[in-house]
Each structure stands twice: as structure tokens, then as C-alpha cells.
């Protein structure tokens, strides 16, 4: 028996995943290596996000979900959390953000836990980009996969759906990502090999790609490598 291995002959022939998700990790270590404050790493990470989102738009990715702040990240020192919130604020106030680039921006996560002014800026950014037809970026802020499922279960109960009626589709249609497909490819840089509570329901059959590169150093070439590796994977979904 020979294994059939898909061969990539030309990059134009590769299958671009419809939905790529990225855990943007390693900002703190990137800064530490440069004897800079962790905050500087977060600022560099924010710039990198813009670069990679633009690249995804260019190569025809349809959905990009990025993990920017988890429900557990509040455990960090107040100064760091405040600095991260200020970076979000600056980012959201930057009117040049993706405007005229045809990129849609939406947020997933529990907004009720965010500072009020940031929640308003998030809503404004969503409104401003709602008609874009290019890449759809979903930024996970105050997001936790378990928290997402808790909210979904609460909503299902509130709607009075009976136990017999509940299917996998019921769950999928009550989570933050209800409007778009599950990620085919999940990328985590920074040398950590875990999900850290990211898309735990949606990742049931995702392909994972890890790299030691720290997020602020992540390049479009790294993304290409991940996509090339993805093209060599044999996705069976439980079949043969």
C-alpha cells in the first residue's frame, strides 16, 4: 500500500483555507528578548496583526479569526492589562484601519466585560466596515471558549428549547461564530502547543500548525509555510 500524498507543484494551485484562526502569542517574550517592556511587544503584535490581515485579504482567505485577549488574560498585572486596553483603544480610533481595503472587522467574546468606551468603539468599527466584501476578520477579545459555551447554553435555556430538540446545530447556532464556518487551520506561534481556551467547539476537526516564531516576528512567509503544510494534510473527518 502506498500513501497518496498530495504534492504541491505551484503555489497558485494550493488550496487556500477558507477560515484561518491565529493565536497571536509571544508578544511578551519578543519584548523581553529586546530588553523592552512587555507593552512594546503588544504594540508590535498589534502592527503585525494588521500586516497579516492584509496579506490574508490579498491571497483570498475568506475568514480570519485572531485571538487578541482571553477571558483569562485579566489575571495579568493591572499595568499590562491597562496597556493592552490602550492599544485596543488606539487601534479602534485609528480611522485608517482597513478603511478602503474592503476588510470587514467583527468581534467575538464577552463585550459586557470590556470598558464601556472600548465596547462602543468596537460597535462603531463593526458598523463602519459592515459592507466590506473582502476578508472578514473576527477579533476575539475577552473571549474564552468555555465562556462562549456557557453563554450559548444560557441562551438555549432562555429560548425554551427542549432537551430532545438540542442538536450539534443548536450549539453551533448559539455561539459567537454562528455566522461563519469552523476554522480549517489554526496557527499558534511562540512555541506553545495548546489552545488556551480558543475555539474549543469549533476546532473539533481543525488542522493545527505550530511555530517557534514569536508573533511580532511572524511573517507572510510563515503564513505561506502554514498553508503549504495544510495542503499536505490528509483530512479524514473520521472516515477512511
Q: Is the dihedral of CA 216, 221, 225, 230 positive or negative?
A: positive
Q: Using the 8-state DSSP alphabet, how is residue 143 labeled?
A: E
What number of other Cβ atoms are within 10 A of residue 206's Cβ? Answer: 19
Are 155 and 181 in contact by the 8 Å Cβ rule? The answer is no
What number of other Cβ atoms are within 10 A of residue 64's Cβ? Answer: 23
Could you list the residues that contact ligand IPE (CB under 6 A)? 23-29, 67-70, 73, 84, 190, 192, 194, 196
**DSSP letters along 15-72, please?**
PPPSEEEEE---HHHHHHHTT--HHHHHHHHHHHHHHHHHHHHHHT-SEEEEEEEETT
Could you say whether residue 31 binds Mg ion (CB under 5 A)? no
For Mg ion, the closer CB: 172 or 197: 197
For Mg ion, the closer CB: 27 or 129: 27
Interface stretch with Mg ion, choices 22-30, 94-102, 201-209, 214-222 (CB under 5 A)? 22-30
For ligand IPE, the closer CB: 32 or 62: 32
- Least distance CB 62 / ligand IPE (angstroms): 22
Spatial CB neighbours of 107, under 8 Å, sequence gap ≥ 6: 122, 126, 138, 139, 140, 141
Which of the following is catalytic: 15, 27, 57, 73? 73
- Least distance CB 192 / Mg ion (angstroms): 7
The closest residue (CB) to ligand IPE is: 28
State how far the Cα of 26 lies from the Cα of 141, in Å rounded to an integer: 17
What number of other Cβ atoms are within 10 A of residue 114's Cβ? Answer: 19
- Least distance CB 42 / ligand IPE (angstroms): 6
187 binds, among ligand IPE, Mg ion, none (CB under 5 to 8 A by kind): none
State how far the Cα of 235 lies from the Cα of 61, in Å rounded to an integer: 19
- Least distance CB 204 / ligand IPE (angstroms): 19
The reply to whether 25 belongs to the active site is yes
- Least distance CB 1 / Mg ion (angstroms): 42
For Mg ion, the closer CB: 25 or 207: 25
70 binds, among ligand IPE, Mg ion, none (CB under 5 to 8 A by kind): ligand IPE
Which of 23, 25, 56, 226 binds Mg ion (CB under 5 A)? It is 25
For ligand IPE, the closer CB: 84 or 226: 84
State how far the Cα of 91 lies from the Cα of 212, in Å rounded to an integer: 26
Catalytic residues: 25, 73
Residues making contact with Mg ion (CB under 5 A) = 25
Amino acid at each position: 500500500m502506498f500513501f497518496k500524498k498530495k504534492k504541491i507543484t505551484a503555489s497558485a494551485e494550493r488550496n487556500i483555507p477558507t477560515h484561518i484562526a491565529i493565536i497571536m502569542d509571544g508578544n511578551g517574550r519578543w519584548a523581553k528578548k529586546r530588553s523592552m517592556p512587555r507593552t512594546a511587544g503588544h504594540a508590535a503584535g498589534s502592527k503585525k496583526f494588521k500586516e497579516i490581515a492584509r496579506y490574508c485579504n490579498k491571497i483570498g482567505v475568506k475568514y480570519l479569526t485572531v485571538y487578541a485577549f482571553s477571558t483569562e488574560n485579566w489575571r495579568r498585572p493591572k499595568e499590562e492589562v491597562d496597556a493592552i486596553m490602550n492599544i485596543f483603544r488606539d487601534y479602534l480610533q485609528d480611522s485608517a484601519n482597513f478603511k478602503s481595503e474592503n476588510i470587514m472587522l467583527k468581534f467575538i467574546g464577552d463585550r459586557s466585560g470590556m470598558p464601556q468606551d472600548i465596547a462602543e468603539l468596537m460597535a462603531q468599527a463593526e458598523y463602519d466596515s459592515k459592507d466590506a466584501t473582502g476578508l472578514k476578520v473576527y477579533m476575539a477579545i475577552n473571549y474564552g471558549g468555555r465562556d462562549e459555551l456557557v453563554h450559548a447554553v444560557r441562551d438555549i435555556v432562555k429560548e425554551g428549547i427542549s432537551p430532545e430538540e438540542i442538536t450539534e446545530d443548536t450549539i453551533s447556532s448559539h455561539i459567537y461564530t454562528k455566522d461563519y464556518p469552523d476554522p480549517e487551520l489554526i496557527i499558534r506561534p511562540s512555541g506553545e502547543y495548546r489552545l488556551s481556551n480558543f475555539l474549543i467547539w469549533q476546532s473539533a476537526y481543525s488542522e493545527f500548525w505550530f511555530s517557534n516564531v514569536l508573533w511580532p516576528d511572524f511573517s507572510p512567509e510563515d503564513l505561506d509555510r502554514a498553508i503549504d503544510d495544510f495542503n499536505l494534510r490528509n483530512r479524514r473527518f473520521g472516515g477512511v
